[in-house]
Structure 1
Amino acid sequence: MNLQNLTFETQLLDDVPSLMALRAGLNTGVLRVLLNGPVARADIGPQTALPSDGLDTLLGLFRQCGMAGQEGDYWHLTPAMHALMVADPIALKRRADFVALAACDVLMHGDSLLSDPQAFQRAAATFRFFRYDRALGMGAAHLEDTAPWADYVSDLTAREGPDLGPLIPLEGVDHLLEVGGNTGVFARGLLELNAGLRATVLDLPAVCHLGARRRPEALADRLAFLAGDAREIAWPAGDAVLFKSVLHDWTEEAAELMLNKAVQHVPVGGRVIICERGPIAAEPVMHGATVAANLVFAQYYRHPEFYEAVLEAAGLRVLPRRSVTLDMAFHVVAGERV
């Protein structure tokens, strides 16, 4: 997504009235109708599920939020909204739905988020969205339950990849194992950046099935998927192990165990690489509804020093940290086995 589209999308998602209007416009089909505009006001209603009063309210919100304009009795999308709808309306809807879900959770259960993260997980709808348990199966129902969150994560990864990919230290690496690599979006980006690289994505069965189904034919011999629980399954041989936006799902103890397993797995000269957001408390300014998408995980984002200490204690030579600021600060921590 180009910067202009991203800026306008964030503007819409950050504001409650525009977030409501965006989701309503997508869910009722009004935005789809206006995409082919200008459309007379009288012709919009019959193509949507909205009554007249509701449609007038929605069109008024569109105008206030810069999503649509009016010329006489005709309505049309603004150039900025038209660009978003043409680019990827499905991904836009996924993003809007998740921000709305997360915003409700942090507003309704913010006290438990800060005082009892496990109670927050039990109460928050966000954590019922990520149905990891359903991804253990391979049936049609398992895939149906897994696809929504796997698609959402894939969308985010596609946006982050161009900035994060060049920071991953893969010089001299022939075979990369990405643990928790979802549908392989990040791995595909790394393969594009590193011509001689091969990669294996290790994730849950339903996720791997979705990833293999979407893998470009041109990468069939360079990108493999290994289905299973990373804590139990045997890992394939490789000279680097990558954890991208996955260790924050685990406790410090579990993350340390997984990192130690990776350290023992890589050969001399091999690398263990972590790419994660930093802690919420270290962010200089946070505002708008989109922040909720990260606030739900606030108690799990860690200082990069934690990962560096674990790698150093395991005997790795810690490489210079690489960082970049996207929606939050991302840090790439890596250690080399000597």
Structure 2
Amino acid sequence: MPLMNMSNLPQSEQKWTTSAAGLPSNSDEASAAFALVDEFLRTEIEARALSFALGHGLIDFFFMSARDAEELASFQEMDRRGFKLVLDLLISANVLERDGDLIDLSARFRSVLAYRDLLEAKMWFAALVAPDVHQLFDMLLTDVPAFMRQAGVFELFRYDLCLDVTEANIEATSRWVSYTTILTAHEAPACVERLRDLNPTRMLDVGGNSGEFARRTVSFVAGLQATVFDLPVVCELGQRHVAKFAEADRVHFIPGDLRNDVLPRGFDLISFKSMLHDWPDDYALSFLQKAFVALDPGGSLLIFERAEIGVTGEGMPYSMVANLVFCLFSLRPALH
């Protein structure tokens, strides 16, 4: 059985899909899902071995049953030494375990496959940004504008390509929208379950991306209608994304550019999910002021952002490289 070329797609064609069965339903499950995924992204080399194994069908080969040396020999088409190295790295990372003459997926890794979309998306983005951290680490810490000019990751997040709805712009923008959609699908329960007590009826999600956060919110809050305000190309992708789900008739899109446009009114909940950190403080304050103007009297403003990066006694795992590249962009809670 030769190595199966399942995920060797060009980056512009890389997609992930998620299912309701693999999504957390509350904040505890959401935290546990990310912690479990990160267990298998401890070091860069182990993560790259896992990415190789997923992309070439090796994990699926083991998923069906444990394998002995003869079966493994029939699978490989690469150099024997390289194949042994991959297996050794996967065993070291607790992806695989050896029991006598058999090698099988570990029980712990089988459990993480419920979040395979999140695992693959995080590995893809970590591999994308790692060269920026490797080559420009000093610049990241000392000269952020220069880092932004030189780091390749910012060629991915091209907001200037989100204004005119063309197939080329849709293709370019879909690369990062599909990634952030997977993150949001798994992050949302950490926030939205707390909104039930507010009992909102009309939600405006500013910079709401594919509408995944709005979709997840309306699925948690009975009777809620949501509107996403974002750039035109993003809204086009969002409409295509949300149309696949039962909540499609409760999530609407208004294209616009918050730098120049006012926000629509008539909402008792306005949210900024992982959006404000993209902008300097003066822009963030301007956006918040526009939200306060648009918010109904007595309404609620929700800001959902990641905390600043901290380092524990165990150090920083490779999984954090995706956040490290944005470490100086984190929004201060005391912004005022």
Shared fold (TM-score, shorter chain, > 0.5) = yes
Of 67, 86, 90, the match for 1:62: 90
Contact 2:199 2:221 in 1 (8 A): no
Q: Which amino acid aligns with 1:34?
A: F
The Cα shift of 1:295 comes to: 1.6
Contact 1:37 1:75 in 2 (8 A): no
Give 2:146's aligned residue: 119
What CA distance in whole angstroms lies between the structure 2 residues aligned with 1:31 and 1:222? Answer: 38
What CA distance in whole angstroms lies between the structure 2 residues aligned with 1:124 and 1:114? Answer: 13
Shift in CA distance, 213/41, structure 1 to aligned 2, threshold 3 Å: farther
Give 2:331's aligned residue: 302
SS in structure 2 of the partner of residue 39 of structure 1: coil
Which consecutive unaligned segments of at least 5 residues does structure 1 have? 310-338
Q: Which moved more, 1:39-48 or 1:123-132?
A: 39-48
- TM-score of the pair, normalised by structure 2: 0.80
Q: How many residues align?
A: 304
- TM-score of the pair, normalised by structure 1: 0.80
Shift in CA distance, 101/172, structure 1 to aligned 2, threshold 3 Å: same
Contact 2:54 2:60 in 1 (8 A): yes
Contact 2:196 2:221 in 1 (8 A): no
Shift in CA distance, 49/167, structure 1 to aligned 2, threshold 3 Å: farther
SS in structure 2 of the partner of residue 25 of structure 1: helix
What CA distance in whole angstroms lies between the structure 2 residues aligned with 1:159 and 1:266? Answer: 27
Of 109, 129, 137, the match for 1:81: 109
Q: Which amino acid aligns with 1:19?
A: A
What CA distance in whole angstroms lies between the structure 1 residues aligned with 2:111 and 2:163? Answer: 38
What CA distance in whole angstroms lies between the structure 2 residues aligned with 1:137 and 1:48? Answer: 46
Which consecutive unaligned segments of at least 5 residues does structure 2 have? 1-23
Once the two structures are superposed, residues 161-207 of structure 1 have per-residue CA deviations (whole angstroms, 9 ceiling, x without a partner) of 11111345872532111111111221122212321221101122332
Shift in CA distance, 169/257, structure 1 to aligned 2, threshold 3 Å: farther
Once the two structures are superposed, residues 202-223 of structure 1 have per-residue CA deviations (whole angstroms, 9 ceiling, x without a partner) of 1223322232223255323321
Once the two structures are superposed, residues 208-249 of structure 1 have per-residue CA deviations (whole angstroms, 9 ceiling, x without a partner) of 223222325532332101223223345332223211110110
Q: Does 1:259 align with 2:321?
A: no
Q: Which amino acid aligns with 1:222?
A: R
Give 2:63's aligned residue: 35
The Cα shift of 1:298 comes to: 1.5
The Cα shift of 1:46 comes to: 5.6
Q: Does 1:276 align with 2:305?
A: yes
Give 1:175's aligned residue: 202
What CA distance in whole angstroms lies between the structure 2 residues aligned with 1:284 and 1:70? Answer: 33
Alignment of 1:282-293 (within 5 A): 283=310, 285=312, 287-293=316-322
Give 1:142's aligned residue: 169
Contact 1:168 1:273 in 2 (8 A): no
Q: Does 1:237 align with 2:265?
A: yes
Contact 1:45 1:51 in 2 (8 A): no
What CA distance in whole angstroms lies between the structure 2 residues aligned with 1:177 and 1:241? Answer: 5
Once the two structures are superposed, residues 43-63 of structure 1 have per-residue CA deviations (whole angstroms, 9 ceiling, x without a partner) of 446656532221111011111
Q: Which structure would you say has the larger RCO, counting Cα contacts within 8 Å and 6 or more residues apart?
A: 2
What CA distance in whole angstroms lies between the structure 2 residues aligned with 1:243 and 1:122? Answer: 26
Q: Does 1:202 align with 2:202?
A: no
What CA distance in whole angstroms lies between the structure 1 residues aligned with 2:153 and 2:295? Answer: 35
Contact 1:30 1:44 in 2 (8 A): no
Alignment of 1:84-95 (within 5 A): 84-85=112-113, 87-95=114-122
Identity within the alignment, %: 33
Q: Which amino acid aligns with 1:27?
A: G
Shift in CA distance, 201/147, structure 1 to aligned 2, threshold 3 Å: same
Structure 1 runs of 4+ aligned residues shifted over 6 Å read none
